Structure 1
Amino acid sequence: MELPVINKASAEAPKGGCSAGSCGSTDDQMSHLPEHIRQKVFNHPCYSEEAHHYFARMHVAVAPACNIQCNYCNRKYDCANESRPGVVSEVLKPVQAVKKVLAVAATIPQMSVLGIAGPGDPLANPERTFETFRMLSEQAPDIKLCVSTNGLSLPEQVEELAKYNIDHVTITINCVDPDVGAQIYPWIFWRNKRIKGREAAEILIEQQQKGLEMLVAKGILVKVNSVMIPGVNDKHLEEVSKIVKAKGAFLHNVMPLISEAEHGTFYGLTGQRGPTNEELQALQDACEGDMNMMRHCRQCRADAVGLLGEDRGAEFTLDKIESMDIDYPEAMKMRAEVHAAINEELESKRLAREAKVQLVSIQGTKTKEGARPVLMAVATKGGGIINEHFGHAGEFLIYEASSSGVRFIGHRKTIPYCEGGDTCGDGESALDKTLRVLVGCEVVLCSKVGYEPWGPLEAAGIQPNGEHAMEPIEDAVTAVYEEMRVAGKLAPNPPEQQKVA
């Protein structure tokens, strides 16, 4: 069994998550929450940007039915190569789902969270969802339980959620204006009737807001997901963020619309585009003043397994887990050891950050005021360190370095360069796609980069850097930014827009 590399430095559980400004889980950002609530978040990979480098999650697909239709959704089964919400390879019965969870948790001891997120809506399938939760609460009490919902049936299920100690609920709220909602939702199924148009959106919004208020009153943490749809709700989501924060939501996750035509969604087939990386970041920044923002979301499949950004679901298909002999009480001992070691690592990092902040406050920042911010892309397998070869990276984490520190911006998916070949019908190569994905970045940090992609990266205005392999990401980003400052590369005016052939 492969375990994470841990530096044991402290015995206390961490009280927070990531560096200032990088996610919704730092000590400062959680200072308004009671300690028992903060302890629910620190090791949750979907809530803490730093925890997602260490802790794994899984979803079980036990909820096939849905009570609304979204213009961005097309729930396909047996589509193993697609990574997006609503897609699964197997729909499970509750007893099958529980066996799969036990198998995953025993094999991947870093797994801390089990969520039910589809492929339909969990609360439109209450019997299957709550039977799964009931069995897991009895057989795997060390696993956090979560649910994601569109909110239509939420108010009537809040008591049941509290009964099974569901600590975290995600509600997808794309609007608070029925006129906007009518452009997103063709219909809802409500009280045995199919309702369309503005009336449908009005009912959905009312139920979502009521459910949010009820969850907060129960002390259940609420994350709000919103899909950014250019020209539909992009200008409206700032208002959504203000309202859900006022009602007690803890975290807001603004996600980009997935609109490729091959997915067969209404938006995809009608040419509705998704947002650019720059548009998404601008909206997240605008909302952040009113709400803690989640920026590390991977828009996971409804049967995802493993760390965020990876999917090990193929290792745990029904035929494979049938032959597994699982001694879960024994596995819980190993899981406890692994979790304790990770917690010590996170606490050690937290203390180191605090010490660095205190040192800077005494000495003053070395970076000149007015130096412009720089975006840097990072190739990592996890663990918060630079440990991925450029050619093997299927995604890059994007950080912004500035005179005020390092800020996590988000992630950008690509095709690993070493896979080679064409990636689409117009002959775009894997390297071409990566260069396009990294537009706006001035540095790419990786454990190693080959000679062949080096030249095209430099020609695109992106400096390859393999000198910080196995170093903590934020330390490396800070060091490179300081090197750029010393070399006089941080003039206030931004560089010319990169061009990719």
Structure 2
Amino acid sequence: MQLPVLNEAPAAKSGCSASSCGTTENQMDALPDSIREKVQNHPCYSEDAHHYFARMHVAVAPACNIQCHYCNRKYDCANESRPGVVSELLTPDQAVKKTMAVAATIPQMTVLGIAGPGDPLANPERTFETFRRLSEEAPDIKLCVSTNGLALPDAVEELSKHNIDHVTITINCVDPEIGAKIYPWIYWNNRRIKGKKGAKILIDQQQKGLEMLIAKGILVKVNSVMIPGVNDQHLAEVSRVVKSKGAFLHNVMPLIAEAEHGTFYGVMGQRGPTHDELQDLQDACSGDMNMMRHCRQCRADAVGLLGEDRGDEFTLDKIEEMEIDYQAAMEKRKVIHQAIQAEMDSKRLEKAEKSTQFKAEPKLATRPVLMAVATSGQGVINVHFGHAKEFLIYEASPDGVRFISHRKADQYCGGDSTCGDGESVLQRTVRTLEGCEAVLCSKVGYEPWELLENAGIMPNGEHAMEPIEEAVMAVYKEMAAAGKLDAKPEAMRASA
């Protein structure tokens, strides 16, 4: 069949072009050398880097100076993957030893972050002792800190003394009225301050700290939790404000509020956003602001690539048995990092050439399509459908391919054949892919194939080990050639 073409393609779902969503390799070329050096191997600051480079968090900061309605810190819940959860609280000595063990064992680990389980800057002695030791003993590791920002202005000078180029501030609002609905209290100047007054102090401190970090040349990522009915209509204003003050990246994350977590929002039945609501808000916040769409909302003791957690390999008892020659490990790490960077540079050039060719082609007169991809990294399709613990979601359109989000496939049923409500793990996974019209994986079995087709999702195992974006566009063109993009997806599901 001849593919339909036209001069002007139909608009995508929302106002975000492929080049303006996230810090991609194409955007890397436009960055100053000093900034590109800081982000090109940072899995949180670069969308492409997260396919190759790993990170870890050390849990040295137990205390927190604010209370959030979406937070409930637990120290012994290894099956949960959300901020504030850890299995072991570490001393600075233990954190340094663990970091050295991970860096020697996982040489592609480039980033060490302190993100809790409380607030790192509410635990300044433990946090800065850890940073001081690591900047001396492991100078090749990037150091990061994540904070609610209340104590940030007083810590900026100390942060700038260490090898810390990246700071994340969680900013959920710039309006105290909204803040009072998110934060029941803050602890400030030895007093607990509630309601709008406390929220205003927090907001002022966050904005002051952001401006001070930018003045020091430190890259700032802003995290915002999307809470439907509370701040969802307000976060575009948050994005505008932090962008105007120099923030490098904005990460709008969905609220996690399952009742079993014991948070206020969870107990009160506050829902999280749908996939469509989150995508629409991220697109609305984008404009010329870099958006992070690959965040996994990691535990405060996460280890490995984004989307995986190898923390069980590095418990305190196992670390005690390890003999680590970090000087030798540094040489190995250097070689591996150079090899990864060379591969990424080569792929970036190849992408640029193919992008030029794609732009010269007539545009398809077709609508955008969401596709799910099973991958374990390296930017290729390399995971069996049945083994996938998460799926990356891409949008294919006449304008190209862009990364949208990730969706977890491992559920609280813990891998049993059925979940508590009688729904099978497979059924639940298929439901997780709602809105997608194809799923690309290395292989897929007969049973999931049938369930996927019945749900209006086309399974595809024909592009194993191929680059993700090329495979997604190839499948998109195949769908167009077969006339599958003429009807709306709802009509396709109805006829399936």
Identify whether the pair has TM-score above 0.5, normalized to the shorter chain. yes
Q: Does 1:107 align with 2:105?
A: yes
- 1:74-473 → structure 2 map (5 Å cutoff): 74-361=72-359, 364-369=360-365, 371-415=366-410, 419-423=415-419, 425-473=420-468
SS of equivalent residue, structure 2 residue 164:
coil
Change (3 A) 1:56 1:448: same
Contact 1:21 1:408 in 2 (8 A): no
Contact 2:64 2:122 in 1 (8 A): yes
Structure-2 separation of matches of 1:165 and 1:420: 44
SS of equivalent residue, structure 1 residue 354:
helix
Query: Deviation at 1:30?
Result: 6.7
Query: Deviation at 1:23?
Result: 1.7
Structure-1 separation of matches of 2:385 and 2:491: 24
Structure-2 separation of matches of 1:91 and 1:251: 29
Q: Does 1:475 align with 2:476?
A: no
CA distances 1:393-441 after superposition (whole Å, capped 9, x unpaired): 1110000000000010000011389945112x21111111112110100
Change (3 A) 1:491 1:26: same
SS of equivalent residue, structure 2 residue 434:
coil
Structure-2 separation of matches of 1:263 and 1:298: 17
CA distances 1:167-199 after superposition (whole Å, capped 9, x unpaired): 000000000000000000000000000000000
Q: Does 1:490 align with 2:488?
A: no
CA distances 1:351-377 after superposition (whole Å, capped 9, x unpaired): 00111122234xx224423x1001000
Contact 1:367 1:485 in 2 (8 A): no
Query: Deviation at 1:152?
Result: 0.1
SS of equivalent residue, structure 2 residue 237:
helix
SS of equivalent residue, structure 2 residue 38:
coil
Contact 2:28 2:36 in 1 (8 A): no
Query: Deviation at 1:35?
Result: 1.6
Residue 12 of structure 2: aligned partner: none
Residue 65 of structure 2: aligned partner: 67
Q: Name the aligned partner's letter for residue 139 of structure 2.
A: P
Q: Name the aligned partner's letter for residue 23 of structure 2.
A: G
SS of equivalent residue, structure 1 residue 482:
helix
Which stretch shifts more, 34-43 or 154-163?
34-43
Q: Name the aligned partner's letter for residue 459 of structure 1.
A: N
Query: Deviation at 1:495?
Result: 3.7
Q: Name the aligned partner's letter for residue 422 of structure 1.
A: T
CA distances 1:270-293 after superposition (whole Å, capped 9, x unpaired): 000000011000000110115211
Q: Name the aligned partner's letter for residue 317 of structure 2.
A: D
SS of equivalent residue, structure 2 residue 238:
helix
Structure-1 separation of matches of 2:85 and 2:308: 15
Change (3 A) 1:29 1:341: closer
Structure-2 separation of matches of 1:114 and 1:279: 32
Q: Name the aligned partner's letter for residue 24 of structure 1.
A: T
Contact 2:121 2:152 in 1 (8 A): yes
The alignment-based identity, stated in percent, is 73
Q: Name the aligned partner's letter for residue 447 of structure 1.
A: S
- TM-score using structure 2 length: 0.94
Structure-1 separation of matches of 2:354 and 2:449: 34
SS of equivalent residue, structure 2 residue 27:
coil
Residue 20 of structure 1: aligned partner: 19
Contact 1:391 1:418 in 2 (8 A): no
Structure-2 separation of matches of 1:497 and 1:483: 16
Structure-2 separation of matches of 1:256 and 1:186: 20
Contact 1:25 1:42 in 2 (8 A): no
Structure-2 separation of matches of 1:221 and 1:305: 22
Contact 1:396 1:411 in 2 (8 A): yes
Structure-2 separation of matches of 1:464 and 1:490: 16
RMSD (Å), alpha carbons: 1.7
Contact 1:23 1:48 in 2 (8 A): yes
Contact 1:20 1:26 in 2 (8 A): no
SS of equivalent residue, structure 2 residue 296:
coil
SS of equivalent residue, structure 1 residue 167:
strand
Structure-1 separation of matches of 2:191 and 2:167: 26
Query: Deviation at 1:483?
Result: 0.6
SS of equivalent residue, structure 2 residue 47:
coil
SS of equivalent residue, structure 1 residue 20:
helix
Residue 15 of structure 2: aligned partner: none
Contact 1:258 1:274 in 2 (8 A): yes
Query: Deviation at 1:78?
Result: 0.9
Gaps spanning 5+ residues in structure 1: where? 1-18
Number of aligned positions between the proteins? 477
Contact 1:253 1:295 in 2 (8 A): yes
Contact 2:57 2:302 in 1 (8 A): yes
Contact 2:370 2:436 in 1 (8 A): yes
Structure-2 separation of matches of 1:245 and 1:38: 18
CA distances 1:57-90 after superposition (whole Å, capped 9, x unpaired): 0000000000000000000011111100000000
Structure-2 separation of matches of 1:342 and 1:317: 28
